[in-house]
Amino acid sequence: MAWTVAARRNEITEGKPKITVVNGKEIGVFHEGGAYYAVLNYCPHFGAPVCLGKVMGRIIASGPDSLDYDNDHKTLRCPWHHWEFDLATGAALAPIRQRLKTYPVAVEGDNILVDI
Amino acid sequence: MIIDCDVHHNQRNKDDWLNYLREPYKSEVARYGLRQLASGIRYEEGGNRWDLVPPSGLSPGGDPDFVREQLLDRYGTRFALLSGYTGPVAGMPDPDYVHAVCQAFNDFSLDVWCRADERFKIGLQVPATQDPQLAAREIERLGEHPGVIAVCIAGTASRIPFGQRYYWPLYEAAERYNLPLHFHPSTTSVLAGLGTTPAGMANTYLEMHTCLPQFYMAYLASFIFEGVFERFPGLRVAFVEGGVTWLPHLLWRMDKEFKALRQQAPYLKRLPSEYIKDHVRLTTQPIEEPKKAEHLVQLFNMIDGDEVLMYASDYPHFDFDEPTALPRQLGETTLRRILHDNACAFFNLPAAPAGEAMK
């Protein structure tokens, strides 16, 4: 693991991650809801470029008759089969083990660093 | 080498193919738009993959050059069966309107897609449920075109089970032109049938899409028990986008029931399950994904999957399967048959050039 500059702040806007190769790994660096995230560009389902998917909130429910929308926790959905993953932790929203690989992110001045 | 049995081509721009529509419908649609019949359930982003907007800015699945690059060239596809989309016709009333829409879409497909690349083949759109005799006329109009390899039927939108005599004029024409039937779910436009599932109107796309094979189970039983394959010994039927693992149950149950109730289908000369190899194929997508791949292999073996299954990608839809979605444990020979050989024979396509490497 090593902290490496992966992007400049002005390269990323909401909905437009930067796809880049850092230390041999293709990752997406996201800026969503005021926070930065870094994710390996590989879906554990069938290997699709997951970072080309969409970031959105998530529909939640405390029971079958009480739906709500959580826009605080960002969800990354794969462009192929639309599986949902938590952008911060990489965990799938469905109760399964497969998850995205995520990396710690830090901001220093105009640089966004990723620990890969 | 791949033959892909289900690729959804689209118009290049909004209403592109409507230029092929004849009057009086052309004026009607220009003024009022296409007639609408919908299921009332949410489905996301048109059900497409999200990485498929062509650089040209045309619709997903709407740019022959982009589909050639992203699908045919990438996967080594020898032929792709273009099945279009069923929304404008599935379950619609008014046979004359549906017939005209089908004709326009077929002319567009041959003109724009089959000319763009000879690997693109089409299934004819026909007013199958609305007027099987008109459907037969469309088969007679275009059935000999080298770009036509099947007859597409919007399944899940029928009022009458598909084995019944009502449809036989269509089946007679399909057999005469040696064109297999290609049953595809009609996604959201199924109000005219029993509902979006055989049980009624589902509240979600999730439930509707899960239940699609239930329609196919009922159709296959109808085809067999009505004696369609005795009446039309050359007729072949593909069930597309229903997955595969429902088949063993249906075959075993049909055989068991038939042994006791043969008098209700006395024209059958074989056990129900024995008609499958000669007449019926399933496409693999969306392939079931059990926790253990070996379970899928066992199920394939139960139905002689190396003979009755054919690969389909469903490009550009969200539940797209790459060829690698099939379990490797099936072995090279079975995979080659499912990915290529079975469809090559079923759709009467030219054999692969001698010496071409199998991948």
CATH code where residue A75 lies: 2.102.10.10
Question: Per-residue DSSP letters for B2-31?
Answer: EEEEEE----SSTTGGGGGPPTTHHHHHHH
Which sign does the torsion angle of CA B26, B27, B30, B31 carry?
A: negative
Give the number of other CB atoms < 10 A from CB of residue B202: 19
Which sign does the torsion angle of CA B93, B286, B82, B166 carry?
A: negative
Interchain CB distance below 8 Å, B49 and A54: no
According to DSSP, the β-strands at A25-32 and A18-22 are antiparallel
Q: Are A1 and A38 in contact (CB under 8 A)?
A: no
Q: Is the pLDDT of residue A91 over 90?
A: yes
Instruction: Give the residue among B311, B338, B315, B244 at the shortest CA–CA distance from A81.
Output: B315
User: In chain B, what residues touch A54 (CB-CB under 8 Å)?
Assistant: 50
Number of structural domains found in chain A? 1
Distance between CA atoms of B179 and B106, rounded to whole angstroms? Answer: 15
Instruction: Give the residue among B13, B174, B18, B196 at the shortest CA–CA distance from B108.
Output: B18
Interchain CB distance below 8 Å, A82 and B51: no
Instruction: Give the residue among B357, B285, B289 at the shortest CA–CA distance from B5.
Output: B285
pLDDT band at B332 (very low <50, low <70, confident <90, very high): very high
Distance between CA atoms of B154 and B187, rounded to whole angstroms? Answer: 9
Taking any CB pair shorter than 8 Å as contact, residues of chain B touching chain A are 44, 49-51, 318-320, 322, 324-325
User: In chain A, what residues touch B325 (CB-CB under 8 Å)?
Assistant: 46
Distance between CA atoms of B165 and B158, rounded to whole angstroms? Answer: 14
Interchain CB distance below 8 Å, A80 and B320: yes
Chain A closest-CA separation from residue B15 CA (Å): 26
User: In chain B, what residues touch A82 (CB-CB under 8 Å)?
Assistant: 44, 50, 318
Q: Phi/psi of residue B348, each to 5°?
A: 60, 40
Q: Are B168 and B113 in contact (CB under 8 A)?
A: no
Nearest CA in chain B to A82: B318
Interchain CB distance below 8 Å, A79 and B319: no
Nearest CA in chain A to B52: A79
Interchain CB distance below 8 Å, A46 and B324: yes
- pLDDT for A43 equals 97
Interchain CB distance below 8 Å, A79 and B325: no
Residue A101 belongs to what domain range? 3-115
pLDDT digits (tens, 9 = 90+) for A3-62: 999 999 999 999 999 999 999 999 999 999 999 999 999 999 999 999 999 999 999 998
Distance between CA atoms of B122 and B146, rounded to whole angstroms? Answer: 9
User: In chain A, what residues touch B318 (CB-CB under 8 Å)?
Assistant: 80-82
Look up the CATH number of domain B2-346: 3.20.20.140
Distance between CA atoms of A72 and A94, rounded to whole angstroms? Answer: 18
Q: Is B318 exposed, middle or buried (0-12, 13-18, 19+ CB in 10 A)?
A: buried
Interchain CB distance below 8 Å, A79 and B322: no
Q: Are B43 and B188 in contact (CB under 8 A)?
A: yes
Q: For the whole model, what pTM was predicted?
A: 0.90
Task: State percent of chain B over pLDDT 90.
Answer: 72
pLDDT digits (tens, 9 = 90+) for B150-177: 999 988 888 899 999 999 999 999 999 9
Interchain CB distance below 8 Å, A80 and B325: no
Give the number of other CB atoms < 10 A from CB of residue A11: 15
- pLDDT for B189 equals 47
Chain B closest-CA separation from residue A77 CA (Å): 10
pLDDT band at B359 (very low <50, low <70, confident <90, very high): very low
What one-letter code names the amino acid at B169?
P
Interchain CB distance below 8 Å, A82 and B320: no
- pLDDT for A93 equals 95
Q: Does residue A46 or residue B16 have the better pLDDT?
A: A46
Residues in Cβ contact with B257 at an 8 Å cutoff, skipping those fewer than 6 apart: none
Instruction: Give the residue among B333, B343, B275, B278 at the shortest CA–CA distance from B309.
Output: B343
Interchain CB distance below 8 Å, B320 and A54: no
Instruction: Give the residue among B288, B291, B297 at the shortest CA–CA distance from B335.
Output: B297
Distance between CA atoms of B255 and B272, rounded to whole angstroms? Answer: 6
- Alpha-carbon distances, residue B218 vs B163, B204, B221 (angstroms): 10, 22, 5
SS3 call for B290: coil
Look up residue B295 and give its two tokens.
Answer: 């379970």
Q: Mean pLDDT of all residues in chain B?
A: 91
pLDDT digits (tens, 9 = 90+) for B51-72: 877 778 777 788 899 999 999 9
Helix (H) or strand (E) holding B168: helix B168-176
Residues in Cβ contact with B248 at an 8 Å cutoff, skipping those fewer than 6 apart: B299, B302, B303
Which residues partner with B317 through β-bridges? B48
Residue B341 DSSP code? I
Nearest CA in chain B to A78: B50
Q: Give the residue from A41, A51, A81 with the most B CB atoms within 10 Å of its CB, the best one to mutate.
A: A81
pLDDT digits (tens, 9 = 90+) for B187-208: 654 555 678 888 888 888 888 8
Q: Give the residue from B318, B319, B321, B324 with the most A CB atoms within 10 Å of its CB, the best one to mutate.
A: B318
ipTM of this predicted structure: 0.73
Residues in Cβ contact with B259 at an 8 Å cutoff, skipping those fewer than 6 apart: none
Own/partner pairs, B113-118, CB within 8 angstroms, 24+ separation: B113/B9, B113/B64, B113/B82, B113/B147, B114/B145, B114/B147, B116/B64, B116/B65, B116/B68, B117/B64, B117/B68, B117/B72
Nearest CB partner across the interface for B318, out of A46, A52, A80: A80
Which sign does the torsion angle of CA B239, B82, B57, B104 carry?
A: negative
Distance between CA atoms of B167 and B180, rounded to whole angstroms? Answer: 14
